[in-house]
Structure formats: C-alpha cells, structure tokens
A and B are shown apart, each in its own frame.
Chain A
Amino acid sequence: MIFSEIYGSYFKAVSAILSKAADGALTEKELTRTVLENAFGESLITIPARLTDGSWPLLTPDFGTPLKHKPRMPLTTLEKQWLKALLLDPRIRLFAPSGEGLEDVEPLFTPDQFVYFDRYTDGDDYSDPLYIEHFRSILRALREKRKLLVCFHGHRGNRRSCVCIPYKLEYSSKDDKFRLITAFRNKPVTVNLSRIDSVQILDPWEENEYSPPREREEALVMELIDSRNALERAMLHFSDLEKETERIGEGRYRITLHYLRGDETEILIRILSFGPVLKVLEPESMVSQIRERLARQMALTAEE
C-alpha cells in the first residue's frame, strides 16, 4: 500500500511530538513548532486540538505521554523492497549503502522493466573506480562542509584546477550526468564529474566564505498556437522550468520561461523542435539567433 496514513505528515508530526513528550521537553510552544515543522499549513488547526481534547489521548494534561518509549516504526516491506531495487541500479555504487536487513525481500522493480527511451547515450560511467572516488569525495565534502581542490579538463582539453566550496551535486536524467556546482572567484562554475582528474578534500570552510553564486537567470516570452495538441505537449516539455502561462485568445497562449543563461542554446533548440506552433517574442537576441538559423536552413534547402 503506497497511500497510507503511516507514511503521512500527521503521523510524522505526532511521532515527533511524542518523542519530545517522552523526553519531558514538550510545551505548548514546542507543540506548535513541531506541527509547523512536520505537517501542513492548516494542520495547526487540527493536531494540537486533537491531542489535547481527548480525541487522540496520547498526551497527558501536563504534556507528558502514557507511552513508555520514543515512537519507532520498523521499515515496511514496501520500503525495504524499494531499497532492494536500488541495489540493482548502476549508480548505487556511488553511494555504497549497506544491504544488510534486505536479504528477505524481493526488489520492487528491476532496471530492465524501465526504458528511458530519449536519454542521451554518452552518460557517465558509474563503474569507473576513479569516477566513484571523485563522487564520494565531493559528497563527503558537502556533508562535512569542506573545501575541495579540484583538477579537471575542459571540453577543449585545457587543464584547470581550483580550490572551491562545493554547493551542490547536480544530476540530469536526460544527459545521465552528474555535475559539480561550485564557484571560482565569485563566478558560478559547473564541472562535469566525468571531466574531473582529481579531487582533494581540504579544510572546513568558514561561514563567511559560503556564498553560493547566483547564476544569471533570463526570461523568454513566446506565443503558442494550440494546434497538434501543442499546448499540452509544450506545457509538459517545459515543466522542468519555472514558467507563467496566460491565455491571450482562442487557442493562443503567451508563455514566459525562466532559464539559466548558460542553458540558452539548449532552450533555443528545444523551442525550435516544436516548429511553427511556438514563436519567440523576446528577448530580441534569441529571436535573432532563430532568424539566423532559419536563414541558413532556407539557403541549404534552396541548394537542394
């Protein structure tokens, strides 16, 4: 059963409340705070009232609990089966979790049941020991808030190295690649993990050194003509980006897309692939690039 209250936010909030009550650390204020941290916006109306009006008699009037221990729930079979399935994924080598306790369950699924049909085929090699070592070093640095000395080669083969604070590990399912998100001299830097030659973990960083770079965002405005089911296709295709959509007429929509500047070419290609159902209106630089590509294309077509 996937949809069950035992996984729900209410049970999670009550579990946290009872833990504090078992410690003798529950107060009215703490009760409120715990609900806000663990449940939904309107849960504050329900959970404290239910716990104190006798509906859920799990708290005593002095904010203690009749329970003798802090709440603890063993893993469900479903959770174990899901973890067991992960052990079959090639990327699990990056994490090396313990398979102990999963011997008695079947995996929930196997990799051959899923076909990622439009994934690019030059993804990272998750079996490469050096790649695994680099991944684990970066993850450790993220966990322990340490700096890194990273040596890597750019796409033209030029070698670079930098001492940096790692901010995130970014994964793209389409590219099947991990990237290190960091900064160098206050500028955002993205390094494909497959281009890293060595990683050395350095000292912890100081709080005043931590300032994740703001990657420059751009906005693009386009008009969509809803033919060939274009509306639904485009809405899904661009749903990985922050967007606003406005109906401007019968079957016509204005869409504003927000994207990172570094992704401009990719966004342009994605828009072109929709053909004449999408027309970019702004920025002018993007419109010019499309015009230039179309002009080149029409010249090529005319040659034939």
Chain B
Amino acid sequence: MAYSELIKSFEKIRDYMREFYIYGFKSREDYTKKSARSYDDERRRIESWLGGYMAFRRSSEGKNVFISVDNRSVTFNPLHSAWKAKSFTDKDIVLHFCILDILSDGTARGVTQISDGVAAYLSHTETPFEIDESTVRKKLKEYSELGILRGEKAGRSLLYRLADSRVDLSSWEDAAAYYSEEAPLGVIGSYLLDRQEEAPEHFRYKHHYLLHTLDTQVLYDALCAMKEKRCVDIVTFSIRKDAEREHRVYPLRFYISTQTGREYLLAYHYKFRKPMFFRLDTVRSIQAGPVETRHEKYEGFAVKFDENLWGVSTGGDYSLDHVELTIRVGDSESYILDRLEREKRHGRIEPIDDHTYKFTADVYDAGELLMWARSFIGRVVRFESDNSFAVTRFYDDLGRMAEMYGGEEA
C-alpha cells in the first residue's frame, strides 16, 4: 500500500513514539528486527507530525532518531498531534462537510433529502463522485452516535438535524488550554482548542510529563466500563518477556505519578482474588465484559487497600512492612521538616529531640520508600524496617555511593 502520513490504527505508532521519546539512543538496527520498511514509514510519519521536535544524532552505532522536547517550554503537548492523524476515505471527508452544511440552518431533514443535497453540491465536478443513500445513512448514524447530529422520528421516517450547541466555547478557552495538559484525556482539550482561531499560550508547566497521551484510548475504554460498573478483559504486553497476557479484572481507580508521568489501573483480579496494578503503557487493549453486581464490595477493597500504599507496589505477599526513617534537622532547617510533612503519603512524624524527627509508616512494600529515603542522604540517622531486604539495600547502596564518589574521602 502507498505510504500515507495518516494511520488507521493508533496502536502501531504507540511503541515507536514511546521509544523515540523515552530513549533516543537507539539506531535503526535496534528497531528493524521485525521490518525495516515499517520502521522507515513510522519514523517518517512521526517526523511529519512533530516537525521541529524530532532530532538526529550520529553515533558509532549509526544514526539515532529521537523526540527532543524541553517540556518546560512547551505550552501544548506536541505528542497530541498523533491523535490527529487518523486516516479516512474520500467519501468520509466529502460527506462530512456536505452534510454539516446542508443541516447548518437547523432544519431536520431525511436521508433522501440529504443525499440529494450532497449530489447537488457535487454536480459541479466533472470527475464522477458517486455517493449512494446507504453510505449517507451510515454516516448520519455515525454522527448521531458521536453527538454531532440528532435523529428524530417523524412518522415512519427518521430525520436528522444538527445537535444543540449552546456551549460557549469562548468562556472555556483558558480552561481548555490548561486542562489539555493537566486533566485526564487532555487530548480532548486539544481537539477543543483546534476549534478556536488561536489557542491561549498563557501557561507553562514544570514536572510536565507528556507520554501518557499515548495511552488515552486505554484509559477511555476503562472509564467507559467503570461508568457501567462492568468488569473488563485486558491484554497486557511485557517487553521483557516479549509476551501478551490476558486478565479479567474489575477496574477500580487510576493511580497517576506526578513524578514520572506513569499511569496505572488498580483493578480487582478475579483469578488471583486480589487488587493488582497494571501500567497503562503495557496495556494493549481493554474490552468491556459483563456488569459486576458486587461492585460495592470491590470498591470497598480499593479504599481499604489505599490506606497502606506508598506507591503502586503491593510487595510479594500483600503483608505490611513497618518502616521508620529518622532524620536529623539542623538549626534553621525547618524546610526539611516541611519536606517530610508534604512528601509523606501515609504515616506520622514525631519529634525525638530538637533536631531529630522520626517518620513511621506501615506500607505494603518498604522497598518503595527507598527512593524517598535516599533523597534525605546527609540527614538520615536511621532507616529501619522489618523488611530486612529494604534495610540492607539502603545501607549497601550508601556504601556503594560513597565508594563511587571517592571512597574514604566521601
């Protein structure tokens, strides 16, 4: 098939964009194990969509292609462009503009009337462009489902008119600009901004993660199932195992990291009979299943489960680890105490003396606190836990870091 910059399925492009954006050191050979042509086409498409955000570098391994973005300087997520590259047929685009124009006066019309109107619009062309009534009917049905048109019965026939549009988009301009970057499914905000002459550029973002937009379809499918209290069949893909797995689960909540941009689905796993996390970027598809009558019971699990979650790890056996982190705070260093207060997610802080404070918590996985505990290096009096693996790792890592940065001198 001839190359086009538009795509039929989003799934294929997801992996390439992720790799180009996240890694950036891979050469063509790293991607072309499956198909060199596929790599060349996808790279060319992404280049076309992202323009100036694509960068190249020559290394000993060959030419590296990557997406380079200074997230702090961008007002709008450039990766949203991928969602605006859906392919379509000639009839799709012609019918789109003709139907909306025919109905633009607000009058309801039947399929035949609309089909005749389309034919009249196209009569100027010498090139035959035939659209039959059944194609028009399908398009009208599709647009009714999208909410653009409204179908109404008139005797035995079905008439269509444009849907009401009382939303004052101008009052939403700034909110749409901000939430297109900060709300779930932000690409919809980007669609709304595309309807405006100019999108406001008053905002910028710190700690701004862009990649999650590629998982929008998965998030949307899960939300639709959750609205109807349905269980779902999800297919996940493990890069390490190079294998797909299927799970039937009841979706409960989404856990979002503001420090990595990673997004997770918390769901009750029917087979394993426990709540589990699934990273959305590993989910290939979500299919809604039957309605779950015991949804209140599972939602109760989610609330209870959250009480001892530090991040998204449940540890090996869902038992609790007791953790104590004792910190030394110098004179006029109250900002350290402020850090402890605002960064702790569970647990409590108690003063030991004027300069020493102890944070205590019971969590599913003490190992998850290690990154946070290390951020206090230089002030940690003690890191204690009944999870001896976490404690050993903390002190071993300290030793290795001291060695790495100059051994005894450090």
Contacts and interface: CB of A to CB of B under 8 A. Distances in A.
Contacts of A4: 86, 146
Contact of A40 (B81, B87, B191): B81
A86 B179 contact: yes
B132 interface: no
B104 A12 contact: no
Contacts of B257: 116-118
Interface stretch (B107-115, B168-176, B230-238, B314-322): B168-176
Given A92-B175, A100-B167, A270 B375 contact: yes
Interface in A101-120: 101-102, 106, 108-109, 112-120
B36 interface: no
* Range class of the B interface residue count: 35 or more
Given A12-B194, A117-B256, A297-B380, A240 B401 contact: no
Interface stretch (B66-74, B152-160, B283-291): B66-74
B163 interface: yes
A2 B168 contact: no
B400 A101 contact: no
B247 interface: no
B22 A294 contact: no
Select the residue from A67, A121, A269, A275 with max chain B CB neighbours within 10 A.
A275
A5 interface: yes
A9 B174 CA distance: 21
A213 B104 CA distance: 48
Contact of A76 (B44, B92, B147, B259): B147
Given A72-B104, A240-B71, A95 B25 contact: no
Contacts, number: 373
A287 B405 contact: yes
B391 interface: no
A67 B120 CA distance: 10
A5 B168 contact: no
Nearest to B312: A117
Select the residue from A75, A91, A269 with max chain B CB neighbours within 10 A.
A75
A58 to B, nearest CB: 6
B360 interface: no
A82 B345 contact: no
Contacts of A171: 178, 182, 203-206
Contacts of B172: 83, 95, 97-98
A173 B104 contact: no
A260 B70 CA distance: 11
B93 A11 contact: yes
A190 B126 CA distance: 62
A18 B121 CA distance: 14
B348 interface: no
B207 A101 contact: no
A60 B123 CA distance: 11
A67 B98 contact: yes
Contact of A5 (B93, B104, B338, B344): B93
B297 interface: no
Interface string A166-185: 00111111110001010000
A29 interface: no
Given A67-B121, A83-B172, A276-B397, 11 more contacts: A6-B148, A7-B191, A12-B84, A41-B49, A75-B167, A78-B146, A80-B147, A120-B343, A122-B338, A294-B378, A297-B377
State the 9 A-B residue pairs at the shortest beta-carbon distance, nearest first: A77-B147, A54-B127, A101-B166, A293-B378, A101-B167, A57-B125, A5-B88, A276-B400, A95-B175
19 contacts: A2-B185, A8-B84, A41-B47, A43-B5, A58-B98, A68-B104, A79-B192, A82-B192, A95-B175, A97-B172, A102-B167, A117-B345, A122-B342, A142-B200, A179-B206, A239-B209, A247-B59, A274-B374, A275-B371
Interface of A: 1-12, 14-15, 18, 40-43, 46, 50, 53-58, 60, 66-69, 71-80, 82-83, 85-86, 89, 91-92, 95-98, 100-102, 106, 108-109, 112-122, 139, 142-143, 168-175, 179, 181, 232-233, 235-237, 239-247, 253, 258, 260, 269-270, 272-276, 279, 287, 290-298, 300-301, 303-304
